[in-house]
Amino acid sequence: MENRGFKPFGRVSSLTLGGGGLGQVWGETTREEAVATVNLALEEGITHLDVAPMYGKGEAEMVVGEALKGKKIDGISVTTKCRLGTLPDDQVYDYLSRSLTRSLDSMNLQRVDLFLLHSQLIEDDFILHTNDEFKHRTATTLSSYFDAVIPSFEKLKEEGRIGSWGIGGLGQNKALIKAINHEIKPEAIQCVVNPLNSAGAIGYVDKAYNPKEILQESQKKNIPILGIRAVQAGALTEKMDREPHPSGMDRPDFDDFESAEPFRALAKRWKEPVASLAYRYALSIHNISSIILGVKNRDELKDCIEAEQKERLTTGQIEEIDEAMSSE
């Protein structure tokens, strides 16, 4: 598997095993199968595991802890996250520290290599597109981020409990651009990368959210990038592998599936599985160190590894995909 430069770790495999599938966010699996999936990932040369307490209410972190137990983890990097929301400044460090401690205990680790803010960033007076009444739980204001979150992350680094810190790249575009251009820049960022240019259901904060703008600004500022949503929650596959949530919360993902029909037609013409082409698209974008996978079992992981082993797309092929999707 290709290894690429990624400043927080030095080098990283071009694929990262994410925790969403391990935590059953993307459908059912078993603890045994999830652990086996982690083991297969490591055997195949994946060097980075990306989890969060939110993935299965801690299940993904426990899977990683079980899989890594007794192993030498030299060369394996682990990322976890904390959804902070917006708290009084004097409570931020304690909240981040407690969340980190729980994560470390679940994974039987003394430190993580990367700790990310899992809240969506907004300007202080921004009104969320939906569920604004809950923004204190789901979104972090820029003033809190600048005045309390960054100093808290730096303190955790000084304590040796994290190697680097970063942000999730979701939220209000204006706020994210300001964070990327702040005098103390995030040491890593996760960016949505897919031909739909969509975050789907998790893009609920800002109706005008534009993932490509965040990606391009991060590239311009040389911030290390991890790609997310390569298959956009299943929208860039042959068929959705789950039913819509009764609440309608994931309706945007199913709408994206319909919007992706031109992409499926192109994949058919090129005689390539739809998901494989989506992963190759993300892997071929400039200055992305690794693509985070949401697989839940070994078969899905094998498909991703097979896609990674194919040639990268040419500029012309990327442009053809973008043109097909823009005309949809």
- pLDDT tens figures, 153-190: 999 999 999 999 999 999 999 999 999 999 999 999 99
Dihedral sign for Cα 172, 176, 177, 183, please: positive
Strand partners, 162: 112
- Distance, in Å, from the CA atom of 105 to the CA atom of 70, rounded to the nearest integer, reads 15
Distances (CA, A) of 295 to 24, 253, 308, 313: 9, 17, 14, 22
Amino acid at 130: T
When pLDDT is averaged across residues 277-292 and rounded to a whole number, the result is: 97
Burial (CB count within 10 angstroms: exposed 0-12, middle 13-18, buried 19+), residue 94: exposed
Strand partners, 140: 121
Question: 105-138, pLDDT tens digit by residue?
Answer: 999 999 999 999 999 999 999 998 777 888 888 8
* Phi and psi torsions of 138, nearest 5°: -105, -20
When pLDDT is averaged across residues 11-24 and rounded to a whole number, the result is: 92
pLDDT of residue 275: 97
How many other C-beta atoms lie within 10 A of the C-beta of residue 317? 17
**Consecutive H or E run containing 5:** strand 3-6
pLDDT of residue 320: 97
Domains, the chain: 3-326 (3.20.20.100)
- Grouping H, G, I as helix, E, B as strand and the rest as coil, residue 165 is strand
pLDDT of residue 63: 95
**pTM of the predicted model, to two decimals?**
0.95
pLDDT of residue 328: 56
User: Computed over its alpha carbons, how large is the radius of gyration of the chain?
Assistant: 19
Q: 72 Cβ partners below 8 Å, 6+ apart? A: none
- Distance, in Å, from the CA atom of 149 to the CA atom of 257, rounded to the nearest integer, reads 36
Averaged pLDDT of the chain: 95
Place of tokens 């990322």: 79
Q: 92 Cβ partners below 8 Å, 6+ apart? A: 84, 144, 148, 149, 152
Query: Quick check: 201 and 245 in contact, CB under 8 A?
Result: no
- Distance, in Å, from the CA atom of 56 to the CA atom of 54, rounded to the nearest integer, reads 6
Burial (CB count within 10 angstroms: exposed 0-12, middle 13-18, buried 19+), residue 155: middle
- Distance, in Å, from the CA atom of 124 to the CA atom of 140, rounded to the nearest integer, reads 8
Show the tokens assigned to 288.
């992305």
Whether residue 249 has pLDDT greater than 60? yes
Whether residue 62 has pLDDT greater than 70? yes
